[in-house]
Structure 1
Amino acid sequence: MDLQQLRYVVAVADTLNFTRAAERCQVVQSALSHRIAALEREVGVRLFARSSRRVELTGAGAAFLVGARECLAAADRAVADAAAAAGVVRGRLAVGVIVTTAAVDVPEVLQRYRARHPDVRVVLRSGRSDDLAAAIRAGELDIAFLGLPEGERPAGLETVVLDHDRHVLVVEAGHRLAGASGVALTEITDETFVDFVAGTPARAQSDRAFATAGLVRDVAYEAGMVELIIRLVARGLGVALLPQAFIRPLAEDDPRLALIPVADGPRRLEYLAWSRFNPSPATRAMLDVLGVRPSSPRS
């Protein structure tokens, strides 16, 4: 058994197609199939059930895949550590980003990172703050930019607060409140709201503010994408509460929208989060670019 065979197994498991797996690994399909068959003979079990039309992991294959991924990650980390000891940062950096990140200019940060460490392959993943934090804990992400309600921290991770932000009310330009110098939650509780999906950290920020004020509101539209929320508001279908630092630059370029400060509105903290356990050289290099000093590795 060797690492290349493990890479072939992972590629087939990811694509569920021997042809696409071979293309990903840059080998001919016959060679990949031969190596996997040899591995199956060595371990004494079938890893894949396959026919002319379909490929699936067997139960044994699913169990084998977990260890295969761990072995490949350990091998990649060994190479990265050796290179770092020689003063070169290599390997892979998996970065999670919420779509409303505003505390840092992520493309600009990646540009500086690339200039310093061109040998690192950066993989970006967007998603909800809770999902991204869970991915760091699971070893799927190295570092992430998160947004959480005030008073809430990502559990089990190293974090640094990047910014404190307030939400503003976003309305269509012809709305009765457009141009107001400010509002309170009691003045907008009867409005029709557009918001993120219930149960997400982005939605919790507004839900908690209304609950704290003892108010109930009507969320008529739920959306998983902030772009869709903005479009619904611009059509006059409802109003929304969004982080000021994120929405203000967009509203300045969109005459369909108006922003109103909310005196007792939601507040958000933007975090940078990474694993407490032995961050990789690529992760430490990103922390350095961001001016963050990590704590000593923990066992």
Structure 2
Amino acid sequence: MELQQLRYVIAVAQTLNFTRAAERCRVVQSALSHQIAALERELGARLFERTSRRVRLTPAGEAFLPAARECLEAADRARAEVAAAGGQIVGRLAVGAIPTVTAIDLPVALSHYRRRHPRVHITLTSAGSDVLVERVRRGEIDVAFLGLPPRAEPKGVQSRRLAGGELVAVVAPGYHRTERETDLRGLADEPFIDFRVGAAGRAQSDEAFAAAGVRREVPFEVSSADFMVDLVRQGLGVGMLPAAYAPRSPGLRVIRLRDAPTRVEHLIWDDRPSPAAAAFVELIQTGSGADERQG
């Protein structure tokens, strides 16, 4: 059994198409098919069902796939560890971040990291905090930036608190409210645009309104800050955004809140970070990304 054969199996499982898998692996289809057939003979079981219309994993293929991924990840990790022992950081760095991260200048930090470690392949995924925590636990993402209510802590991962901040209410320029400051009770009768129930971004607001003894209506639930901003601009309701993030959305009016909801941003990573991930965590912890921005 060879690592290349495992790569071919994973590529076919992801694309469910031998031609596209061969293109992804940069080999001719006949070579990829031959290697998978040889692996199936060695295993004594077919990994894929092939018809003229579709390709799908067999039960044996479903059982084989997780172990194949683990083998490739272990091989990549071994190469990275050997390179790190020689002073070179190689491999991959999969970063996740909430769209409203403000504790660091993430583009600057990634740029600084790439210049320091040019042999690392960097990817970035944007998602909600709950999704990012789970993906770090599963090893799909190496490090992630979250925003959580003050009393919440990420579970099952290593973490560091970065910075906290207040949320503000945002409305369209022509919205009927004209004040620059109020409290949560003063917004009780407004329709709100917020994240889905259960999301960390929603919990920050829900907990603050509950503590203030205020019930509010949230007729518009969104999955991203950009979508929230688009709806707010149309005058459909009041949005809640981190105070440090709100200025990135020109054309909105900000209403400060005397009893504002708060959140804390966290950097999280796996219990056994790869050399590439460990180097990124060190960069953030030492403030090198921030220093780059200021300089």
TM value normalised by structure 1: 0.93
Choose from 251, 271, 283 the match for 2:277.
283
Q: In the alignment, what sits opposite 1:297?
A: none
SS at match of 1:264: coil
- State the shift of 1:215 in Å: 1.5
Q: In the alignment, what sits opposite 2:233?
A: 234
SS at match of 1:268: strand
- Which residues in structure 2 correspond to 1:100-111 (within 5 Å)? 100-111=100-111
Q: In the alignment, what sits opposite 1:98?
A: 98
Q: In the alignment, what sits opposite 1:31?
A: 31
SS at match of 2:193: strand
- State the shift of 1:249 in Å: 3.0
Choose from 256, 259, 265 the match for 1:261.
256
Q: In the alignment, what sits opposite 2:206?
A: 207
1:285 and 1:56 map into 2 onto residues whose CA distance is 39
1:238 and 1:279 map into 2 onto residues whose CA distance is 43
1:291 and 1:223 map into 2 onto residues whose CA distance is 32
2:125 and 2:171 map into 1 onto residues whose CA distance is 30
- State the shift of 1:292 in Å: 4.7
SS at match of 1:291: helix
Q: In the alignment, what sits opposite 2:9?
A: 9
Pairwise CA RMSD? 1.2
2:286 and 2:152 map into 1 onto residues whose CA distance is 21
Residue 181 (structure 1) aligned with residue 180 (structure 2):
yes
TM-superposition CA deviations, 1:165-207 (whole Å, max 9, x none): 10001011122333x2311111001101111111111111111
**Counterpart of 2:268 in structure 1: which amino acid?**
A
Contact 2:180 2:254 in 1 (8 A): no
**Counterpart of 1:23 in structure 2: which amino acid?**
E
1:245 and 1:273 map into 2 onto residues whose CA distance is 21
1:37 and 1:51 map into 2 onto residues whose CA distance is 15
Contact 2:222 2:228 in 1 (8 A): yes
1:292 and 1:198 map into 2 onto residues whose CA distance is 35
- State the shift of 1:152 in Å: 0.3
Q: How many residues align?
A: 287
SS at match of 1:229: helix
Contact 2:208 2:261 in 1 (8 A): yes
2:214 and 2:150 map into 1 onto residues whose CA distance is 19
SS at match of 2:162: strand
2:45 and 2:245 map into 1 onto residues whose CA distance is 52
Identity of aligned residues (%): 52
2:213 and 2:49 map into 1 onto residues whose CA distance is 57
**Counterpart of 1:59 in structure 2: which amino acid?**
P
Q: In the alignment, what sits opposite 1:133?
A: 133
Q: In the alignment, what sits opposite 1:114?
A: 114
Choose from 254, 268, 271 the match for 1:273.
268
Q: In the alignment, what sits opposite 1:52?
A: 52
1:118 and 1:238 map into 2 onto residues whose CA distance is 45
- Which residues in structure 2 correspond to 1:182-197 (within 5 Å)? 182-197=181-196
2:3 and 2:139 map into 1 onto residues whose CA distance is 20
